[in-house]
A and B are shown apart, each in its own frame.
Chain A
Amino acid sequence: RKEVEQDPGPFNVPEGATVAFNCTYSNSASQSFFWYRQDCRKEPKLLMSVYSSGNEDGRFTAQLNRASQYISLLIRDSKLSDSATYLCVVFAGGGNTGKLIFGQGTTLQVKP
């Protein structure tokens, strides 16, 4: 089983749609969670951090379910500029030995 698992997609949605991505992780001791956005041939950029049960920032909502070990990202009112790959990232470990584990990413294409 992969440490962080995502549906690679692609998710093709019209502008204005609401779309949700799920991500599951295998390490129950994982402490914090992130969603990064990566545009084609660019570096990942931090979109949201999730330290408790969830986080909301404008059109984006992230939710964490520790019991089921999954994280979701909801995008409302999709824009063309939301087209990108969304990376689910899990931090595991402690002290100076913790590290980020990246999922493969979910590709979103927003169509006019």
Chain B
Amino acid sequence: ETGVTQTPRHLVMGMTNKKSLKCEQHLGHNAMYWYKQSAKKPLELMFVYNFKEQTENNSVPSRFSPECPNSSHLFLHLHTLQPEDSALYLCASSHFGQGRWNEQFFGPGTRLTVL
């Protein structure tokens, strides 16, 4: 596997379900990100982890819970979501602390539908 991978690629869930999105990066990066992309809207940053520490929580509702066990893996735990949470969830990674650290590389995304 190369680059940034995400699973599952598609997810349909009810409002009472609990599910998790997984992201793995194989680029040797030390920063990872969750973004949300809704139709006709710009990408919205949700969470940032640098060296496994959360450094940004962009006013995300608590029904989204991130977890970063190491610098290669990132999870997004979902519970009691709302239909308006349906979107494409993208994971990205980058180097932190080097000159070009803000170049981010994205995974293919998980397309989430909440019924």
Contact = CB atoms under 8 A, between A and B. Distances in A.
Interface string A83-112: 000010001000011111011110000000
Contact of A97 (B56, B90, B100, B104): B56
B102 A100 contact: yes
Q: Is the interface of B mostly helix, strand, loop or mixed?
A: loop
A57 interface: no
B45 interface: yes
A102 to B, nearest CB: 4
Contacts of B56: 97, 99
Contacts, number: 43
Nearest to B107: A43
Interface residues of B, number: 22
B48 interface: yes
A49 B103 contact: yes
A103 B45 contact: no
Interface string B99-110: 010111111110
Contact of B48 (A42, A49, A99): A99
A100 B35 CA distance: 11
Interface in B83-103: 88, 90, 96, 100, 102-103
Nearest to A32: B102
Pairs of residues from A and B, 5 with the lowest C-beta to C-beta distance, nearest first = A43-B106, A102-B43, A91-B102, A102-B42, A104-B42
Interface of B: 40-43, 45, 48, 50, 55-56, 88, 90, 96, 100, 102-109, 111
Interface of A: 4, 32, 34, 41-46, 49, 87, 91, 96-100, 102-105
